[in-house]
Amino acid sequence: MWRRVALLSPMISSSSRSLKLSQAASGLKVGESFATDIINQDERVSPPKEKAPFITFVLGGPGSGKGTQCEKIVETFGLQHLSAGDLLRREIAMHTENGAMILNLIKDGKIVPSEVTVKLIQKELESSDNRKFLIDGFPRTEENRVAFERIIRADPDVVLFFDCPEEEMVKRVLNRNQGRIDDNITTMKKRLKIFNALNRPVIDYYKNKGKLYTINAVGTVDDIFQHVLPIFNSFEQLKESSHVNPQSHLGSSLVENSS
CATH assignment of the domain containing 62: 3.40.50.300
Positions at the binding site: 63-68, 89, 110-112, 137-140, 144, 176, 180, 191, 219
pLDDT computed for residue 256 by the predictor:
41
**11 and 87 fall within a common domain:** no
Question: How many other C-beta atoms can be found within 10 angstroms of the C-beta atom of residue 107?
Answer: 8
pLDDT in tens, 136-174: 999 999 999 999 999 999 999 999 999 999 999 999 988
Do 73 and 127 have their domain in common?
Answer: yes
Give the pLDDT of residue 28.
43
Residue 187 is predicted with a pLDDT of 86
The pLDDT value given to residue 102: 94
Q: pTM of the full predicted structure?
A: 0.72
Residue 1 lies in a domain: no
83 shares a domain with 27: no
Please indicate, yes or no, whether residues 69 and 104 belong to a single structural domain of this protein.
Answer: yes
Domain, as residue range, for 35? 6-45
Task: Say if residue 179 is in the same domain as residue 69.
Answer: yes
Does a structural domain hold residue 160?
yes
Same domain, 16 and 78: no
Domain contains 123: yes
pLDDT in the model for residue 3: 45
Q: Which residues are annotated as part of the binding site for a ribonucleoside 5'-phosphate?
A: 89, 110-112, 137-140, 180, 191
> Is 248 among the domain residues?
yes
Report whether pLDDT(188) > 50: yes
215 in the same domain as 193? yes
Q: Does residue 126 lie within any of the structural domains?
A: yes
Query: Do 69 and 30 share a structural domain?
Result: no
Domain-embedded: residue 80 = yes
pLDDT bin (cut points 50, 70, 90) of residue 78 is very high
* 23-32: pLDDT as tens digits: 544 554 444 4
Q: Are 59 and 174 within one domain?
A: yes
Q: Which residues are annotated as part of the binding site for ATP?
A: 63-68, 176, 219
Do 63 and 25 lie in a common domain? Answer: no
> How many angstroms separate the first and last alpha carbons of the chain?
98
183: confidence class by pLDDT, cuts 50, 70, 90? confident
**pLDDT value for 19:** 45
Question: What pLDDT score was predicted for residue 110?
Answer: 84
Give the pLDDT mean for 171-199: 82
Nearest to 60 by CA among 184, 195, 254: 195
Strand partners, 39: none
More confident of the two residues 111 and 19: 111
**Feature table: binding site for CMP:** 144
Number of folded domains that form the chain: 2
Average pLDDT on 102-116 reads: 89
Q: Closest Cα partner for 203 from 170, 254, 146, 160? A: 160
In this structure, are 132 and 29 located in the same domain?
no
Same domain, 20 and 107: no
> What is the rounded average pLDDT of the residues 5-30?
47
Q: Which tens digit of pLDDT belongs to each residue from 194-247?
A: 999 999 999 999 999 999 999 999 999 999 999 999 999 988 767 655 554 433
**Does 175 map to a domain?**
yes
